Chain A
Amino acid sequence: TQLLEQSPQFLSIQEGENLTVYCNSSSVFSSLQWYRQEPGEGPVLLVTVVTGGEVKKLKRLTFQFGDARKDSSLHITAAQTGDTGLYLCAGVSSSNTGKLIFGQGTTLQVKP
């Protein structure tokens, strides 16, 4: 069974600070997707990483896929209040289903 451990589960920081969220597994994933979710809404896709060692940037967000495709990180630089939300990492199952294996999520609160 493929599992993803996401940490930390909760993060409360001041505006302007930097932060990193981690996703770790003992399993290899064919790709990994990061989502952001607002209360009462569905997850919104931020980025997909496919190649081991890949780094993608989305404005102040930097996503990295581990060399062995077992782990990933999300780094936010100079966080803003608008970054507040639930961040989810999801590995694409190595089976043919393509189903997503989600981490538990990181609830980020950015205080002004």
Chain B
Amino acid sequence: DTGVSQDPRHKITKRGQNVTFRCDPISEHNRLYWYRQTLGQGPEFLTYFQNEAQLEKSRLLSDRFSAERPKGSFSTLEIQRTEQGDSAMYLCASSFFWTSGGANEQFFGPGTRLTVL
């Protein structure tokens, strides 16, 4: 197993265009998280899935953002009508969560750096 992968690593787009990012988690992990990180800040939670169900979305996630995890494996994050304020690093993380407890350690992918011109 090679860890969490994300594609593309870099994306440059013009304001108003739509973009889609993909995340492939560690194969046995049932939880998948999306975070956004701007320069000089720690990552901020956007949304997460347990298997194929999207269970929580942050207030940061406007209506222009949508995420899916159709078969409980890979996930996509789409941003419609991009704005310059969307420029950031988009990070995906996965974990194995079980209800009896555990630290829910999250392992991150390399991120997708989005630049909106």
| A residues lining the B interface (CB < 8 Å) | 6, 30-31, 33, 35, 40-45, 48, 50, 88, 90, 92, 97-105
> Which B residues touch A50, using CB under 8 A?
103
B100 in the interface (beta carbon within 8 A): no
For B, the interface residue count at a CB cutoff of 8 angstroms equals 28
Identity of the chain B residue whose Cβ is nearest the Cβ of A99 in the assembled complex: B45
> By the criterion CB–CB under 8 Å, are B97 and A98 in contact?
yes
> By the criterion CB–CB under 8 Å, are B104 and A42 in contact?
no
Docked complex Cα distance between A26 and B41 (Å): 20
> By the criterion CB–CB under 8 Å, are A41 and B111 in contact?
yes
B57 to chain A, nearest CB (A): 11
Docked complex Cα distance between A97 and B109 (Å): 19
> By the criterion CB–CB under 8 Å, are A43 and B43 in contact?
yes
> By the criterion CB–CB under 8 Å, are B113 and A88 in contact?
no
Instruction: A30-B103, A97-B48, A100-B35 are known; give 13 further A-B pairs, CB within 8 A.
Output: A31-B104, A41-B111, A42-B108, A45-B107, A48-B105, A88-B43, A97-B56, A98-B48, A98-B97, A99-B45, A104-B42, A105-B40, A105-B41
